[in-house]
Structure 1
Amino acid sequence: MELTVQRTESVEGTVKAPPSKSYSHRAFILASLANGRSVVRDALYSEDTLASLEACRALGAEFERKSDGDCLIHGFGCSPSTPEDVLDVKNSGTTLRIMTSVSALAPGFTVFTGDDSLRQRPMQDLLDSLQNLGVNAHSTKNDGKAPLIVEGGFKGGKTSIPGNVSSQFISSLLIAAPYAENPVDINVKGDFISKPYVDMTTDVMKKFGVNLDYDRKNNSFHVEPQTYKSRDYTIEGDYSSASYIIGAAAALKSNVKIKNLFKDSKQGDKQILDIVKEMGAEVNFKKDEVVIRGHGKLNGVEVNLENAPDLLPTVAALGAIAEGVTTIKNVAHARFKETDRIHTCALELSKIGVNVKEKEDGLIIKGGANGGIVKSHGDHRLVMALSLVGLKVGNLRIENASVYDVSFPKFPEGMKELGCKINQV
């Protein structure tokens, strides 16, 4: 399926932000680790989050999707079952990484695989860290990537993990740690990138009844053995997915209200509001909603995306239609996402006339975008970000665009509600 995007002069209206993918993953998994029934309200059902639900079901959780978006989950508590078959988590890196540690709580062996892209994502640092905690986990090809085999048995103890590859490794260890046989101490070595994602993890853990200690000075965590408790939990709006709505409103003449975005959110991608404000848009918060007013013109900026790597495609697209130079830095870890996002953004933007220079840790972009044909590379965020360029310059066709289902299943419909000229072909 392709998306065709035409020049759009203005957008206006009120939309509700899609539910947070990151919070949905975590709530589904923690509800499964709790005894009894939990209700996860306003949950996101996308390809990625469904991969987490199915992995939890394979380990013994039961769930029921309600028509209003709620999800009833009967957890397996501290006693997950051995899966009947190999777990195919498709393209979901969050599922693979978090469930690798969780599966060590199940007896026997659990085997994980995924699609071609997922099988290229680094896992060795997590496997090494788990070994220190008494978990026998290996890559089947001994290359530090999926497929993985995890043997049941989580003794606990002390371990360390590099902080500069993926915050998901740290979240994975923390989520499984309460059910280890002994207390768990985790030291984060070096730079601690994307820390807001770990803050989200510890926030949801506390909501499900688990407390931990964090030593900010030494970047270390301590988790005592304890039990997750079932609860009623509501998912907040997703700043990552909303960044495309925010980006469109900033780039065009607009008056757009986005509901279910919280000012005190722990999501690192909340940074998009500061970015578009610096680029020239007006941003105003009203309780749990944000109002964006765009004037049809953006200015280039310098942006540090160390704590918000998923914003790279959005900011790159906005830089491609802004006046002046946009510099994106400190986001080398974006090379280990669904694609090497630094490279794929540079490649596709260069196809449509953008003067873009690829750096090891980011991009330097000098606007100048035109219409044309671009590819998604199977990356949901690249599809949605590139559409922003089309809204400004017109006549843009995005090939293999259906992958937006991974995180924002109703993306075209949500954008068209505001007047965006986006069509599926």
Structure 2
Amino acid sequence: MDIHLQKSELYKESVTLEITGSKSETNRLLLLQALYPALRIENASNSDDSKVMTQALSSNTLVVDIHHAGTAMRFLTAYFAMKAGKTVTLTGSQRMTERPIEILVNALDVLGADISYQNHNGFPPLVIKGKSLVKHKVSLQANVSSQYISALLLIAPQLKNGLELTLQGTMTSVPYIKMTLDLLEQIGVETTFQNQVITVFPKPDGVEQQTIVVESDWSSASYFYSCVALSSVGTSITLKSYKKTSLQGDSVLAELYKEFGVSSKFRDHSLILTKTEEVEKDTGIAFNLANAPDIAQTITVTALGLGLSCDLTGLHTLKIKETDRLEALKTEIEKLGGKINVTESSLHLAKNEKCNPDISIATYNDHRMAMAFAPLALKIPIRIEDASVVSKSYPEFWDDLKRIGFHFNK
């Protein structure tokens, strides 16, 4: 399904949107709930990725297909590795079979896991023979996907001797590691994080019955930050339910989007976004997004729509996402008339006077490509290909755009 967005304008009166729970928090809690059934979850994400995670954790089949869900692939690799007596083949989409997982598999092997590659070394599908993992010390490169690290941390309290994980080199996406540790501590698991060594102590006897409420997703909020930034001064949108102090790395949006003239105010678990000033055309935006790479596409498109130059660094993990997000951004922005250069870990967007209208944006099976480019309809008409891909993280996205004033045809 393609969507053709007409040139739109946000409604003058602020609209309130209820954003689904964080996918990152939800998927961590789903795995913890599988280990500790006394745990209850409220405001869980209704994303495709979280649905896949739920189904996989309750599956009794010999083959578990997680489709495009990268988080599920990493977390479930660790989960099935410690499920003694259970053998599973863990697979996914064609793109998933191209996404590396050797670093995580090697770490699990050090702990005593029995995992083999069905087709190509280093890549899914994986044949996992669950075992009781008794070794507890392992080292991991810290500049790779933080999901490898979180996968190990999440299963650690159920390992006989817990886990001592040494991180080597410069750490990436630290907020996501801290999110995992915070959730472990919320359910009563003892952890320490000193220098670059993380220790998770064993908790084999279960946890007290409790309910954790998932905060709404900050990655999803990014698209509305972009909408407000691309609108006139005074435009406002209210999002629920958010916390001023968040576990999510993408909450840095509240600070970063000040550079685009957007203010963030918190009131009764609501986040109020307001365009407070126009940004000078000579302004150059420069951010290091090593701790929040998922918002790189949104920020780049916002800068493009405002005619600003943009330099982003810390983007090396974007090469192994649903698509190579840096190359995908370059291709689509050049179609719009923008000038952009990318490296293995950075991008530079030159100042651009205007965008070509009625361009059809390819989405590459990547939900964030669709949602990042959609706000450009506040400047020009634009077409989004395979628009249903947003269900991976935000199924109501197009409905919510209509609620704030967007017009489009399917």
Question: What TM-score does the superposition give when structure 2 sets the normalisation length?
Answer: 0.93
Question: Is 309-318 or 7-16 further displaced after alignment?
Answer: 7-16
Paired with 1:96 and 1:360, the residues of 2 have a C-alpha distance of 23
| SS of 2:88 mapped into structure 1 | strand
Q: Look up the equivalent residue of 2:10 and give its one-letter code.
A: S
Partner of 2:82: 105
Q: Which of residues 300, 310, 320 in structure 2 aligns to 1:316?
A: 300
Instruction: Give the deviation of 1:181 after TM superposition.
Output: 2.3
Matched, 1:147 2:125: yes
Q: Look up the equivalent residue of 2:318 and give its one-letter code.
A: A
Partner of 1:44: 45
Question: Is 301-310 or 178-187 further displaced after alignment?
Answer: 178-187
Partner of 2:111: 133
Tell me the alpha carbon deviations over residues 362-395 of structure 1, each in whole angstroms, 9 at most, x when there is no partner.
Answer: 2111233222111001100000001012222x22
Instruction: Give the deviation of 1:295 after TM superposition.
Output: 5.8
Instruction: Give the deviation of 1:290 after TM superposition.
Output: 2.0
Partner of 1:73: none
Tell me the alpha carbon deviations over residues 134-179 of structure 1, each in whole angstroms, 9 at most, x when there is no partner.
Answer: 1122222242110011121112321011111200001000111111
| SS of 1:317 mapped into structure 2 | helix
Aligned-pair identity (%)? 29
Shift in alpha-carbon separation, 1:169–1:382, aligned structure 2, 3 A: same
Paired with 1:14 and 1:300, the residues of 2 have a C-alpha distance of 31
| SS of 1:307 mapped into structure 2 | coil
Q: Which of residues 386, 400, 424 in structure 1 aligns to 2:386?
A: 400
Matched, 1:201 2:183: no
Paired with 1:20 and 1:35, the residues of 2 have a C-alpha distance of 20
Partner of 1:329: 313
Paired with 2:277 and 2:365, the residues of 1 have a C-alpha distance of 30
Partner of 2:31: 29
Tell me the alpha carbon deviations over residues 169-219 of structure 1, each in whole angstroms, 9 at most, x when there is no partner.
Answer: 01000111111122321111111101111111111112222121111x2x1
Instruction: Give the deviation of 1:108 after TM superposition.
Output: 3.4
Q: Look up the equivalent residue of 1:267 and give its one-letter code.
A: Q
Paired with 2:127 and 2:27, the residues of 1 have a C-alpha distance of 22
Matched, 1:344 2:309: no
Partner of 1:247: 226
Partner of 2:202: 225
Q: Which of residues 99, 108, 117 in structure 2 aligns to 1:121?
A: 99
Partner of 1:70: none
Q: Look up the equivalent residue of 1:387 and give its one-letter code.
A: A
Q: Which of residues 246, 262, 269 in structure 2 aligns to 1:288?
A: 269
Paired with 1:206 and 1:282, the residues of 2 have a C-alpha distance of 32
Q: Which of residues 71, 74, 77 in structure 2 aligns to 1:94?
A: 71
Partner of 2:257: 276
Instruction: Give the deviation of 1:257 after TM superposition.
Output: 1.5
Does structure 1 retain, via aligned residues, the 8 Å contact 2:319–2:325? yes
| SS of 2:306 mapped into structure 1 | coil
Does structure 2 retain, via aligned residues, the 8 Å contact 1:155–1:180? yes
| SS of 1:10 mapped into structure 2 | coil
Instruction: Give the deviation of 1:287 after TM superposition.
Output: 4.6
Shift in alpha-carbon separation, 1:35–1:413, aligned structure 2, 3 A: closer
Shift in alpha-carbon separation, 1:142–1:119, aligned structure 2, 3 A: closer
Instruction: Give the deviation of 1:321 after TM superposition.
Output: 0.9
Instruction: Give the deviation of 1:292 after TM superposition.
Output: 1.5
Does structure 1 retain, via aligned residues, the 8 Å contact 2:81–2:108? no
Partner of 1:6: 6
Matched, 1:267 2:254: no
Paired with 2:193 and 2:399, the residues of 1 have a C-alpha distance of 42
Paired with 1:35 and 1:296, the residues of 2 have a C-alpha distance of 49
Matched, 1:174 2:160: no
Instruction: Give the deviation of 1:239 after TM superposition.
Output: 0.4
Paired with 1:313 and 1:348, the residues of 2 have a C-alpha distance of 11
Paired with 2:386 and 2:265, the residues of 1 have a C-alpha distance of 35
Shift in alpha-carbon separation, 1:35–1:405, aligned structure 2, 3 A: closer
Q: Give the number of equivalent residue pairs.
A: 396
Partner of 1:256: 237
| SS of 1:321 mapped into structure 2 | helix
Instruction: Give the deviation of 1:105 after TM superposition.
Output: 2.2
Shift in alpha-carbon separation, 1:424–1:242, aligned structure 2, 3 A: farther
Does structure 2 retain, via aligned residues, the 8 Å contact 1:251–1:296? no
Instruction: Give the deviation of 1:404 after TM superposition.
Output: 0.2
Q: Look up the equivalent residue of 1:137 and give its one-letter code.
A: I
Instruction: Give the deviation of 1:285 after TM superposition.
Output: 2.7
Shift in alpha-carbon separation, 1:35–1:378, aligned structure 2, 3 A: closer
Q: Look up the equivalent residue of 1:249 and give its one-letter code.
A: V
Partner of 1:373: 360
Paired with 2:339 and 2:215, the residues of 1 have a C-alpha distance of 37
Instruction: Give the deviation of 1:48 after TM superposition.
Output: 0.4
Does structure 1 retain, via aligned residues, the 8 Å contact 2:261–2:277? no
Does structure 2 retain, via aligned residues, the 8 Å contact 1:312–1:341? no
Does structure 1 retain, via aligned residues, the 8 Å contact 2:319–2:344? no
Provide the aligned C-alpha RMSD in A. 1.6
Instruction: Give the deviation of 1:296 after TM superposition.
Output: 8.1
Paired with 2:289 and 2:62, the residues of 1 have a C-alpha distance of 39
Q: Which runs of 4+ in 1 moved over 6 A?
A: none
Instruction: Give the deviation of 1:310 after TM superposition.
Output: 0.5
Paired with 1:224 and 1:155, the residues of 2 have a C-alpha distance of 13
Return 5+ residue gaps in structure 1 as ranges.
59-82
Paired with 1:291 and 1:157, the residues of 2 have a C-alpha distance of 45
